[in-house]
Every structure is written in C-alpha cells, then in structure tokens.
Chain A
C-alpha cells in the first residue's frame, strides 16, 4: 500500500510557536515507505501571531472590554456635540436636591434590606446644586477620554517623527534634536503639563490636550531613537540601500514596521499616563476648568463632602482607575504579543 506524494506544505515564513505547529511534515516520497505520515503546518503571518497572542492575554482582553464599554457608556449615555444620548438628564442643569443628593442606585437584594436592582432617578446622586452626578461623571469621562487619546496621538506622532529623524540621520540632526529633548526631559512632566495647562486655561479641553501633547513626546522620542539606532545597523537596511532605496522609503517601509511594536506599546502606556496626568492637573486647578468638567475636577470640588457623601468621590475615582487600569492592561498585552517571553511550564 505504497503511494507516492510530493513533499507537503511549504516551509513556514514566520517563526512558528510550538502551539501552532503540529508534528513536522514528513517527506514521504521514498520508494519503500509503507505508510505515509502527512502533517501540515499552517504558516501564520506575524500579524496573525500577534493578534493571537494578544487575545490569549486575559488581562488585555478584559482591559479591552472595560475600555470599550466605558467609551460607549460615556458617549452614548448623555450624547456629545449636540447628538443626544439615552440618559434623560444632562450635566449642566441645576435642580432641586432630592434626599440630600443620595445615590438612588441600589444593588442590595431585597432580603438584605434593599430594593433589588434599582437605578432610580439619580443613580450616582446629585451635586451641591442638584445636577445629576451620573451625567456629570459621564461628561467628565468624555472629556478625560478625549484628552488622553488626543494627547496620546499627538505625542506619539511627534515622538516618532523626532525619534526617527534623530536615530536615522544621526549627525547634526540628531545632536540638535536630542539636545532639545534633553532640555525638555529635565522638566518634570507634571511641571510642563501644569505650565501648559495654565496657558491653556479657559481655552477648552481640546487646546489643553493639544498643548500637552505637543510637549509630552520626550520619552517616546528617546525610545524611538533607540530603536532606530539599532535597527539602522541591521543588514536588511544595508540591503535595501544597496538596491537603491531612498532614505524615506527605508524608514517607512523597512525600519518603521520593525519598530512598530515598541511604538504601539509606548503609545498605549502614554495614553494611560495621560489620563492620570490630566485628572491630576484638573484636581490642582490647572487643567480642565469650569464650565467644563473633568473627573479630577469633580474629585477636588467635592473633597470636603467626603465624610457625608463619599460617593461624590468614589464614582469619578472609579472611572479614572477603570480607564487607566484597562489601558495599562491592554498595553501589557500588546507588549507580550509583540515580544513574548518564555511560555508557561506547569510544574
């Protein structure tokens, strides 16, 4: 019962992890082989591998879910930019304070002296002038999210540009760019952000985000520069050059894709750091200011009422932590996906 078959599947292009590869294909074209053993490997592109590894990271997955839920909740509940949301109350209209502004949210089942799952009219309570706190928190979340995403985007773009230029071209360009970076690094982030915040005071959160993003790129620039410095020495760059590729093409098509992992991870962590930064600034009074609101501002406004109405502190704090934590987990998952460490051995 001998059959002849050509050698099976091609050699995989990407590094194949043990989880993906079955037993290696056996060449079965020998005269004399009685039984053929045919196993195939499915070659996976790097992108598939990375996605797969990311999805296996439970923390990152959870982070993704929480983050997306928060975004959806914040923007759909009270609407944004004129588009209405499904939550009846808005964040700016004062009203009469009901029941001392208590939370009407109740999750205690009835046998434990509660009302079962009830949302009530003011699930997060009300502030001093009767505004619905849920709406306020959602608005604060919206603004904080907008700012941190914008800051992340700007800082990444600028950081990549500067880092790439410095790392690739070296020489004078690098010297100048790095000196500028060094000067800015000497100034602690909070200081820079605060100073910029003061400058942007009253101009709205977008301006604030822009200003912070414009000066927040230093860590990323250093990182990207480091990556470019090492990548430009690799043989594939020499090869591309030998084939006549222009510098721009080399940067964009060859080096950048390889540095992408580090950049994406860094960008994610920048977003997480940005939200902490923005809320801290708002807390100090140097960030988002009235009439807009921010989670940090909410906390600072109602700090005094903590003893009697602690929920005014807890809800904004919870949202800040939820966003920062989920983004941090996503960042960690990305880091693992791009650069996996040893696999787990069950002892």
Chain B
C-alpha cells in the first residue's frame, strides 16, 4: 500500500520528467542539420524520409504524445515495444534491447563493488580514527572525488591496457618491483590489522616477506601465463574464509559457529574435486547449474549450521552458508583463471580489453565468454567504482563515527559485550541506515559515470545511444536511454527505501 503509492507517484514523476527531457532534446538544434549540407543528389528524398520517420512535420508536443503512446505499448505484455526510430531509420527498441544489457551489467557490478569496498574502508577508517589508514582513505576519497571519470578512464586505458597486456607477454616480476610491492603490501596489512606499534611492525614485516616470497614464486613459475588457484590454495582459502567469517560475525569464542564453518570449508575442499570438473564441462556449464549449485551450498550450510549450532543456530547457519558460497566462488575463479591461456590466444595476447563490451562474434564456450565479458568489464568498472567508492567511504566513516559516539553504544559496552559485538551488532547496523539514502542518490551519479566510461571505452551501450542521439538532435534514442535508466533508478530507489525500512524499525508503518 505504501509501496503502491510510492510506485504511482514515481510513475507520474517519471512521466513528467520524460516530457521535460523530450522537449529539451527536441529543441537542442536542427535534426535535419547534417542533411541540409548534404551534397548528394537524393538529398531531398533523404530529408523527406527522415521527416517521415521522426514525424518532424508535427510540433514538439505532438511528437511527444506520439512517442509516449508508442512507449506505452511496452507496458502491455505481449505487445511490441515502439520507441520510435532514430535518424538512420533504425528501430530504437531493438537498439535499446541490445545496449541495455551491457550498460546495466556495468552499472550494477560497479555499484555493488563500490558499496562493499567503500563501506568496508569507511568503517575501518572510523574504527582507526586518526591513524595512517584513516588519513590515507580520507585523502584518497578526496582525490577520487576530484578526479573526473573520463580522465581516469583515459589514463587506465592507456597505461593499464597497453602496458599490462605487453607485460603479460613476458610475465615476470623483477626483484625491484617485487620489493616495492612487498613493502606496500606490508604497509597495507599493518594498517588494516592495526594494534600497537610492536604488533604493527611484526605484521608489516611478515606481510612484506610473504608477499615478496609469493611474488618471486609466481614469477618463477610463470603463473601469470597459466594462472590457476589449484586445489591446495582453494582449500587454504576456504579455511581462511571460514575463520574470517566466524570471527567477524560471531566471535571466535563461539566455538559452535567456528566448528560449523570449518566443517563447511572441509566439505567444500573435498567437493571441489567434483564440482570443478563438472562445471568445466561444456555441456554442464550454464547459469542454471551454477545457480542450482549455489542453492545446494546454502542447503548444506543450513544443515551444517543446524547440526553444529547449539545455542546459536541462526548465526551458525549464516556463517556456514557464507563460507560455502565464497568457497564456491573460489572454485569459479579457478575455472576462469584456467581458461585464460586459451582466451589469451584467441585475443592474440591482449587479455585486458579496451574497446567495446565484448568481442564481437566471439566463439567460445561458457567460461571463455564469461572471461571475455569480464576482461571488457575490468577497466570501465574500476573507472566508475572509484568515485562511488570515495563517496561511500566518506559517508560510511562519518556515519560510523557519529554512531560510535551515541549513548546506546556506551550502554552496549556497559553490558559487558565484547568490542566486536558492540561494533558489528550495534554500531555498524545503525551506521548503515543513512547509507541507504546515499545509495539512492549515488546511483544517478553512477549512471552518469557509465555514459562517460562507455564513451571512453567505445562500448555500444546506452551511453552511446544517448550521446549520439544528442549530437544528432534525435530524441528517440535519448528517450530510450532515459526510460531504461530512470526505471533502473526508480527500482534502485525503491530497493533503497525497502532496505531503510528493514534496517530502521522507527519508520515502519505498523
């Protein structure tokens, strides 16, 4: 009822917005501009054809009505979708259909990643206020906030793609680079894990040495040429994740939860010998199967959690399921990594792609196609992510700091709860609430960023429809873009509202 009302209001708002945009675009110049200076003999025919296609003989409001009635057919299930034609006479709805999937893919992945990493960084910075990590995250946030997306995208494109691809031809890490990376890694781990001076130096030292060793090993074994995770690493990671989730969500004192998670990790480590070959097989690699395996993992997680949970069954189930899913994720990563050599060969050594959202007419199996999509996604996603991440980390930090000063956090401590429980269960949960509002606002910025990034990386996405449509004074593709993005925006807003209501009981309507 609340939801229905909101939807109705959003719908009307959307309608009005479409009118505003349509009028603005239609007036942005002369749609016949390029044709007027056309020297070809059938110029007048072309002009007449375009007038016909775009109804240019009608006034702007009339054209809008024509368009909106056409767009209305999209809402009717089964009916065709008439979004008009573009200046070249192509059907806009077909174009939109093709473009939307790639753009939405980019936008969604970038948003999810930005949220996860940004909030994590912001929260950790708040917990370690005034530390080196805090200043670094704050400064980086400022920097990325002030960096235009296009500049960063261009930079990434030139450096990363070309240099990285070149390096992949002969993927060795020389000693000085390895040393530099080791030092950086040491500093990073020291900052993340915190603690007193002595402990930080130990962490830094250990991390640096480990990193150096790992890098040298990888270089010697030419891992980058034939990457994979391997069963040993997957097992180690599975157990590490189990301990990590148990520590974070329940506290290591809750042995039940820990044992459940560890059991899950063990199951996963054994299961990989069946799951990986299963998924690698061409015939079995489909999205449906992956989803089914995911559900199976959750079911097993529920079972294991229930069995081990004792007094904390709910928590045990959650931790076990998460461990299982993440371990499954590692298996998927392993398969994809092992497909890299074939992919690289098909791309003539250029693994990181800089043009387009996928290789046109790509022939390859499921995993090759996944890899193709991923490699084309990497750079654009990073470009968009960074600005969003900056926002999220700043707001998360501010929100967390504010919450940590609240009385109820003091009450929680006075009850004798562990610091971990106070931070995760009490502070973090409350700090998330204002972030949902940010998510809704930020999505608009992400869409804008996507337009720019698509231009830089030459994607045939909605962004291109939009930009080209504007330059050619062609309202229909622009409206197509607008419709899709604003529906996405409204949906996202609605999700944010629901999340808000879920997190904050004060605004729920009884």
A residues near B, CB below 8 A? 59, 179, 182-191, 194-196, 198-199, 201, 272, 276, 279-280, 283-286, 296, 299-300, 303, 306-307, 310, 313, 317, 320-321, 324-325, 327-329, 332, 341-342, 344
Chain B residue nearest to A278 (CB atoms) is B148
Q: How far is the CB of A111 from chain B (nearest CB, A)?
A: 23
**Chain B residues with CB below 8 A from A186, complex form:** 13-14, 17, 486, 489-490
* B455 proximal to A (CB < 8 A): yes
What does the 1/0 interface line of B396-426 toward A look like (CB < 8 Å)?
0000010001000000000000000000000
**Chain B residues with CB below 8 A from A198, complex form:** 25, 28-29, 470-471, 473
Interface residue from A199, A306, A320 paired with B28 (Cβ < 8 Å): A199
Interface residue from A187, A279, A328 paired with B145 (Cβ < 8 Å): A328
Decide if A190 touches B151 in the complex (CB within 8 Å): no
Decide if A272 touches B448 in the complex (CB within 8 Å): no
State in angstroms the CA–CA spacing of A196 and B154 once bound together.
25
Contact A184 to B448, CB < 8 A, known contacts A201-B28, A306-B154, A324-B147: no
State in angstroms the CA–CA spacing of A307 and B485 once bound together.
35
Q: How far is the CB of B148 from chain A (nearest CB, A)?
A: 5
**Chain B residues with CB below 8 A from A280, complex form:** 148-150, 448, 452
* B2 proximal to A (CB < 8 A): no
**Chain B residues with CB below 8 A from A329, complex form:** 142
Size bracket, chain B contacts:
35 or more
Decide if A307 touches B158 in the complex (CB within 8 Å): yes
What does the 1/0 interface line of B479-496 toward A look like (CB < 8 Å)?
000100110011000000
* B266 proximal to A (CB < 8 A): no
Interface of B is mostly: helix
* B115 proximal to A (CB < 8 A): no
Q: List 18 A-B contacts (CB under 8 A).
A: A183-B17, A188-B444, A188-B485, A189-B444, A191-B466, A191-B485, A195-B28, A201-B29, A272-B146, A276-B146, A279-B148, A285-B467, A286-B467, A286-B470, A320-B148, A332-B142, A341-B401, A342-B405
* B143 proximal to A (CB < 8 A): yes
Within 8 A of A (CB), among B442-463: 444-445, 447-449, 451-452, 455
* B290 proximal to A (CB < 8 A): no
Among A196, A280, A327, which residue has the most Cβ atoms of chain B within 10 A? A280
Within 8 A of A (CB), among B137-163: 142-143, 145-151, 154-155, 158, 162
Decide if A191 touches B146 in the complex (CB within 8 Å): no
Q: A186-B486, A317-B155 are in contact. List 15 more A-B contacts (CB 8 A).
A: A183-B17, A184-B17, A188-B447, A190-B449, A195-B24, A198-B29, A198-B473, A276-B148, A280-B448, A285-B471, A286-B471, A296-B150, A307-B158, A332-B142, A344-B130
Interface residue from A183, A283, A306 paired with B13 (Cβ < 8 Å): A183
**Chain A residues with CB below 8 A from B13, complex form:** 179, 182-183, 186
Contact A195 to B451, CB < 8 A, known contacts A276-B148, A280-B150: no
**Chain A residues with CB below 8 A from B405, complex form:** 342
**Chain A residues with CB below 8 A from B28, complex form:** 195, 198-199, 201
* B20 proximal to A (CB < 8 A): yes
Chain B residue nearest to A195 (CB atoms) is B24
* B177 proximal to A (CB < 8 A): no
State in angstroms the CA–CA spacing of A182 and B489 once bound together.
13
Decide if A184 touches B20 in the complex (CB within 8 Å): yes
Q: How far is the CB of A327 from chain B (nearest CB, A)?
A: 8
B residues near A, CB below 8 A? 13-14, 16-17, 20-21, 24-25, 27-29, 130, 142-143, 145-151, 154-155, 158, 162, 401, 405, 444-445, 447-449, 451-452, 455, 466-467, 470-471, 473, 478, 482, 485-486, 489-490
Chain B residue nearest to A281 (CB atoms) is B452
Top 7 nearest A-B pairs (CB, nearest first) are: A190-B448, A324-B146, A198-B28, A325-B146, A188-B444, A199-B28, A186-B17
Decide if A303 touches B154 in the complex (CB within 8 Å): yes
Decide if A187 touches B20 in the complex (CB within 8 Å): yes
State in angstroms the CA–CA spacing of A194 and B150 once bound together.
15
State in angstroms the CA–CA spacing of A218 and B88 once bound together.
35
**Chain B residues with CB below 8 A from A327, complex form:** 146
Contact A317 to B151, CB < 8 A, known contacts A182-B13, A186-B486, A187-B21: yes
Decide if B146 touches A328 in the complex (CB within 8 Å): yes
State in angstroms the CA–CA spacing of A342 and B398 once bound together.
12
State in angstroms the CA–CA spacing of A182 and B143 once bound together.
30
Decide if A190 touches B20 in the complex (CB within 8 Å): no
Decide if B148 touches A313 in the complex (CB within 8 Å): no
Q: How far is the CB of B490 from chain A (nearest CB, A)?
A: 8
Interface residue from B142, B151, B470 paired with A320 (Cβ < 8 Å): B151
Q: How far is the CB of A46 from chain B (nearest CB, A)?
A: 23
Decide if B471 touches A191 in the complex (CB within 8 Å): no
Q: How far is the CB of B247 from chain A (nearest CB, A)?
A: 25
Decide if B21 touches A284 in the complex (CB within 8 Å): no
State in angstroms the CA–CA spacing of A188 and B481 once bound together.
11
Q: How far is the CB of A180 from chain B (nearest CB, A)?
A: 9
**Chain B residues with CB below 8 A from A320, complex form:** 148, 151
**Chain B residues with CB below 8 A from A310, complex form:** 158
State in angstroms the CA–CA spacing of A272 and B145 once bound together.
9
**Chain B residues with CB below 8 A from A344, complex form:** 130
